[in-house]
């Protein structure tokens, strides 16, 4: 999730906006709870912490339980239904993020890029061109192809839902 946050912040800057990224890890580096906050603004960023999130991405039950109450009233919670089968909160969207990653790239390690694509497809917070350029700039050379594939699959999923919501 931390790499996805870095990529999102990079894309925002490429689109001419200001971005701030903070991160923290739980006891485990991979597979445990981690937090990646990204603040994107047209103007100055006055405070480096998110008070209430516009978007929460919950990839596992621990993250959902820990952060679900930190979403703004009109915010959206995106949940990986591969690991969290159901949630009982308003404005939540379930996507089989890990399953999409496994299907598209053969591994769940690209799930964060699928999730990032979903967020961008839903919100249009950054342009597709900027997010693809940021992936190319930030992702290690040997895994660019699978990460681009995962991101594109997520963009497609997020765009479909965004179109259905606004139809």
Q: Which domain holds residue 147?
A: 2-165
pLDDT tier for residue 101 given thresholds of 50, 70 and 90 = very high
pLDDT at 83 over 70: yes
Q: Give the angle subtended at the CA of 98 by the CAs of 106 and 140, to the nearest 5°.
A: 60
Number of domain units in the chain: 1
CATH number for the domain spanning 126: value is 3.40.920.10
- Position 32 scores a pLDDT of 60
Direct distance between the N- and C-terminal alpha carbons of the chain, in angstroms, rounded to an integer: 31
pLDDT recorded at residue 146: 97
The model carries a pTM of 0.93
């Amino acid at each position: 999730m931390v790499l996805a946050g870095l990529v999102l912040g990079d894309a925002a800057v490429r689109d001419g906006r200001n971005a701030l990224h903070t991160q923290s890890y739980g006891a485990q580096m991979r597979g445990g709870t981690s937090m990646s906050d990204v603040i994107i603004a047209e103007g100055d960023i006055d405070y480096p912490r998110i008070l209430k999130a516009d978007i929460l991405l919950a990839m596992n039950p621990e993250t959902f339980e820990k952060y679900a109450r930190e979403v703004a009233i009109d915010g959206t919670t995106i949940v990986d239904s591969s690991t969290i089968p159901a949630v009982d909160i308003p404005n939540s969207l379930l996507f089989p993020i890990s399953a999409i990653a496994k299907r598209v790239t053969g591994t769940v390690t690209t799930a964060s890029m699928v999730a990032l694509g979903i967020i961008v497809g839903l919100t249009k917070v950054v342009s597709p061109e900027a997010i693809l350029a940021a992936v190319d700039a930030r992702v290690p050379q040997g895994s660019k192809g699978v990460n681009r594939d995962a991101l594109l699959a997520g963009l497609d999923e997020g765009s479909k839902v965004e179109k259905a919501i606004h139809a």
